[in-house]
Amino acid sequence: MICKEAIILAGGFGTRLQSVVSDVPKPMAPVGNKPFLYYILKYINSFGLNRVVLSVGYRYETIVKYFGEKFENLELIYAIEKQPLGTGGAVKFSSNSIKSDSFFLLNGDSFFKSDLRELANFHKQNGAKITLSLKELKNFDRYGSVETDKSGLVTQFQEKQFCKSGLINTGVYIVDKDIFNSVDAEKFSFEKDILEKEVKNKTVYGTVSDGYFIDIGIPEDYEKAQSDVNQLL
């Protein structure tokens, strides 16, 4: 596989989850008898990756104490934000610990069971700078939608609105490290300042998978994850 490293964004406050999980970072919210992050690391490990950089901030000590410096075959590195850097700033800061030219990027509060090998191969075949793992949903309004052409080139991101059928960004990417070379800012948005810019440059592709998807960002879906715990393994 073209890369063996990943960054997981695990610094979220979990504002909308405060009513059910208030004392830990969102990726540490318990599902079954394990933190949600456990299932993401287990999934990554199954593809033979060897290093994960955890982008952490809020109550990061909880994550360090639980996981330490190794999870199964994964070496764990912690990129600790002293102050919130935004999603783009967090990825750029964490990418300083990445050794290879590209890396997988995942959100620490969502899980998508897609094939990372297929994502990496599609990325390489198209000479992309960023490749998104997409999923088709029906009758949704919680997510924005992604439009692509027949080749998988991403042509547009649509704002959140009711959609009868569409593709969503699952928060699983492969990213070329050099896309941050042109960004001088420390604090910025990955979605607005990187993704949207690169779409205009025609360097962003998306590949569709039909795996299990859950985003625990709201109490209803966090509760759903409890009953779906077997899907996470």
Q: Supply the pLDDT for residue 19.
A: 61
CATH code, domain with 121:
3.90.550.10
- φ/ψ of 148, rounded to 5, equals -130, 160
Taking the model in full, what pTM does it have? 0.96
Q: Supply the pLDDT for residue 173.
A: 98
Q: Indicate the burial class of 153 (C-beta count within 10 angstroms; 0-12, 13-18, 19 or more).
A: middle
Q: Supply the pLDDT for residue 2.
A: 72
Output the six-digit token pair for 21.
């999980």
Q: Supply the pLDDT for residue 24.
A: 82
Q: Supply the pLDDT for residue 58.
A: 87
Give me the amino acid identity at 31. Answer: V
Q: Supply the pLDDT for residue 128.
A: 98
Successive 10-residue mean pLDDT values, the chain, 233 residues: 91 67 84 96 97 95 97 98 93 97 96 97 97 97 95 95 96 97 93 95 97 92 94 94
Please calculate the CA angle 154-159-164 and round it to the nearest 5 degrees.
85
Please calculate the CA angle 124-120-204 and round it to the nearest 5 degrees.
65
Closest CA to 12 of 151, 106, 114: 106
- State the residue range of the domain holding 81: 5-232
What are the DSSP E strand ranges found in 10-129? 30-31, 34-35, 51-56, 70-71, 74-80, 102-107, 110-112
Q: Supply the pLDDT for residue 26.
A: 87
Q: Is 227 helix (H, G, I), strand (E, B) or coil?
A: helix
Place of tokens 């966090």: 222
Place of tokens 């810019």: 197
Number of domains composing the chain: 1
